[in-house]
Structure 1
């Protein structure tokens, strides 16, 4: 099942370290099948507030996402971002093509 790394970066910075991180991150994701789906595009807030930027990366599965995040290559560049940008990052497994929210609701009601 496809998995996603989702980052809500609340503060933004063009610090040289951040630019180096952006230049290097793609190479860290490639061995794990990671690819950007959303990277710094403008968001349209339709409910609530959303200060900052959104990043979404897809991976073939949750194991690949975990392996990428824990990889020595990524861990080496991570401080280049975290020292200058605050935010939250989560890993989440997607749903399959036959997912039906009504079944989820029924299970929750039971």
Structure 2
């Protein structure tokens, strides 16, 4: 079974209020086996557009990633985030096929 991922790009307009979202999302992520792979580190944007904060979260499966997004716990956290940030989130299924050699 392939893992699932959230790929998020976020601009935060109120960093202090955003901290409440970080606290609120922790329970939903724990419940669905989430693991941060990227959490707002340094980045370059060689093509296209960007936002100030980039996040990649790994889940045990694509279904777990979808379930987390749709969970009451995450939806409550999202209501905290939306007034203080603008984001783009994509939920994708991981790839387990051949790799370049």
Q: Scaled by the length of structure 2, what TM-score is found?
A: 0.86
Q: Which has the higher strand share?
A: 2
Could you report, residue by residue, the CA deviation over 1:61-92 in whole angstroms, capped at 9, with x for unpaired residues?
11101111111111111111111101111100
Q: What does residue 89 of structure 2 align with?
A: 89
Match of 1:107 in 2: none
Alignment RMSD: 1.6
| Alpha carbons 1:39, 1:56 under 8 Å: kept | yes
Query: 1: distance between equivalents of 2:51 and 2:74?
Result: 25
Unaligned runs of 5+ in 2: none
Once superposed, which parts of structure 1, at least 4 consecutive aligned residues long, lie more than 3 Å away?
A: none
Quote the residue 1:106 is aligned against. Answer: none
Shift in Å, 1:25: 1.5
CA contact (8 A) 1:32 1:65 kept: yes
Give the secondary-structure state (helix, strand or coil) at the position aligned to 1:83: helix
Larger radius of gyration: 1
Q: Which residue of 1 aligns with 2:5?
A: 4
Partner of 1:108: none
Q: CA deviation at 1:6?
A: 0.8
**1:60 and 2:60 equivalent?**
yes
Give, in angstroms, the shift of residue 100 of structure 1. Answer: 4.3
Equivalent pairs counted in the alignment come to 98
**In 2: Cα distance, 1:35 partner to 1:22 partner:** 14
